[in-house]
Amino acid sequence: MRHSPLVQNLITAFTCLPGVGQRSAQRMAYSLLERNREGGLQLSEALEAAMQGVSQCQRCRNFAEDVLCPVCADDRRDQALVCVVASPADVLAIEHSGEYRGRYFVLMGHLSPIDGIGPRQIGLDLLEQQIQAGEISEIILATGTTVEGEATAHYILEMIAGTSITISRIAQGVPMGGDLEFVDGATLAHALRGRRPLER
């Protein structure tokens, strides 16, 4: 069976979402058309508003509706302390911890030369400008432990060579409440290398 052009366009539009294939997209399209047209209209309005109104913070590159995102605009936060993360989802995860009071720099990815993603594509030229301007006193690297994440962390480490900036990497390894017998060897090795002394 062939869909009408409008229905087919709707199905095709849904397939742009991660993890949504043709069949899932078809189910979503049918659901909106059969039972929830009002919800579909709200979805289209919200999508259009977000696509038109959301850009990137000029300081940290996170999603923002103004020149600065709420974190960068908050003068109660330590603006000289910067946590470098790969995505806005990472910002949200750290904010949920309630432990961090600095600002962020959002890469929107990692270095990946094989995919044509170099320093400029992930905003490292902007981060370098902030470093050279003396805006940053400490950088916390919260990039992933993938090959690309490690390469990105190493590149940033080289960028600050010769400066007085303090740099650290978030601890990674055994999760809270986890039993060692269920943790893989690579994670345990990483946890052992990143051990720190206990306070007495």
What is the set of domains in the chain, with CATH numbers? 78-169 (3.40.1360.10)
Predicted confidence (pLDDT) per residue in 62-105, tens digit: 999 999 999 999 999 999 999 999 999 999 999 998 889 999 99
pLDDT computed for residue 126 by the predictor: 96
What's the rounded mean pLDDT across residues 136-154?
90
Structure tokens at 149: 């994440």
pLDDT computed for residue 200 by the predictor: 55
The three-class DSSP label of residue 7 is: helix
Q: Are 83 and 71 in contact (CB under 8 A)?
A: no
> Residue 80: what are its φ and ψ, rounded to 5°?
-90, -10
- Look at 109 and 145; give whichever has higher pLDDT: 109
Of the chain, the percentage scoring pLDDT greater than 70 comes to: 91
Q: Enumerate residues 6+ apart whose C-beta is below 8 A from 68.
A: 57, 58, 59
| pLDDT at 57 exceeding the cut of 80 | yes
Q: In Å, how far are 15, 18, 24 from 21, measured between CA atoms?
A: 6, 8, 5
Q: How confident is the model at residue 199 (pLDDT cuts 50, 70, 90)?
A: low
